[in-house]
Structure 1
Amino acid sequence: MNTPFIRNHQYNYIKKQTDFLLNTLRAVADRRVLETVRYRSSLNVIEAFPTLGENQQQLLQQISAFETAYDFQKYLSGLEPYLEPFPQITPKQIQKLFPKNKKLKVPDLSAIDFRYMTYLSWIDIATNKLFIVYPFEGQFIGIEGRVTPMNKNGYCLFCNRQQQLAFFTVKTRLAKSSPDDYSSIGQYICIESQECNHRITDTAALERFILSTRA
């Protein structure tokens, strides 16, 4: 039985390394350079995981042995059974994260492939609000805010890739202030969260933003 251990953003990072390695193989003839790139790609993948068992490490290190696009695609497909999906969540749990939204419209969870998701996000067009649910340290965090499409491409805070952006603003209560004192935190993010989830390779910026809204 395959024990899942690869989170979505780590899988995306592995895909990024396979793309880089394949492009190098196509462009570079010097065997010494290629061996260095193979070693570096393998090391990068291993370092993307805080802890690994011996079998898990051996599985990931296979990235350095391939030559063709077919080899790399087969390698990535072979990793899919090890994907650790977004933690199971119910509509009732989501509603509890946003208690002030009595008529919250929860997305159809049955239509989502949670293996390829780092954060759950959807837009309520009626209210022009974006909702994000993120698992952090054994619990779910929910944040909401106004979303403004920018009709331009730029770098998303979460995935750090150039995509069509929206400006997302979240109200946050100021530390050591009265309950009525709020500030706003805003960042440019992908307007299409599905694309963002397919491209995110590191959760640090996402987590910093989410935690900053809970000050």
Structure 2
Amino acid sequence: MNALIPRPRLRIAPGAVHVPGWLTLDQQRELVVACRAWASGPVPIRHTALPSGGVMSVQTVCVGWHWQPYRYTRTAGDVNGAAVAAFPDWMADLGRRALVEAYEDETAGDGYTPDTALINFYDGQATLGMHQDKDERSSAPVVSLTIGDSCVFRFGNTRTRAKPYTDLELASGDLFVFGGPSRYAYHGVPKILPGTGDPATGLTAGRLNITLRVTGLTDPGKEVPSQG
């Protein structure tokens, strides 16, 4: 929903930038439609099983490459064995424009070639613990988009899951980019704020989070192993 008081652009840490309200309402609606189509297959949205035996409370569907802890593959061996949907060119272009906007530099998107999107759906009770996005071979920035309900987003440091960290609210249409010195910062979502989204986006409840990444993988016969 539109804020009564404009929210300022924030540089949370070097390379980490929050741009409120970057996506238009039309863009949000288009993304919701696209994500709904991907959620139905070829690899459907699911709660990801963890090696510990637990299950993530967020539901995930992937585009371009299939992610599971802690690797990327072209097919979803942990779900149904199908190949994931192709990563669309228009989404790569969106990622490049996001970097230009976040870093306020017309050249910031040059050479940025995201090839996967992890799409997470949070219901009102879902959370995501502090973690690093380090299953990629590339250190290119991560582009994160929020649609629907707002959340408390916790952005920390590169050394530990504990403090220091910054809590901020990500609302529908917001852009958050983290790269450079902050590329491997711990981050998480401790809380969703139900009822804060705008149904005009096409999402009546919950939060949709789309993160664009560069896997650094070019051989479809290989996996990206975890760096951790």
Q: For the superposition of Structure 1 and Structure 2, which TM-score range results when normalised by the shorter chain?
A: under 0.3
Structure in which a larger fraction of residues adopt strand: 2
Structure whose residues are more often helix by fraction: 1
TM-score by length of 2: 0.27
Normalising by structure 1, we get a TM-score of 0.28
Q: If you compute each CA radius of gyration, which structure gives the higher value, 1 or 2?
A: 1
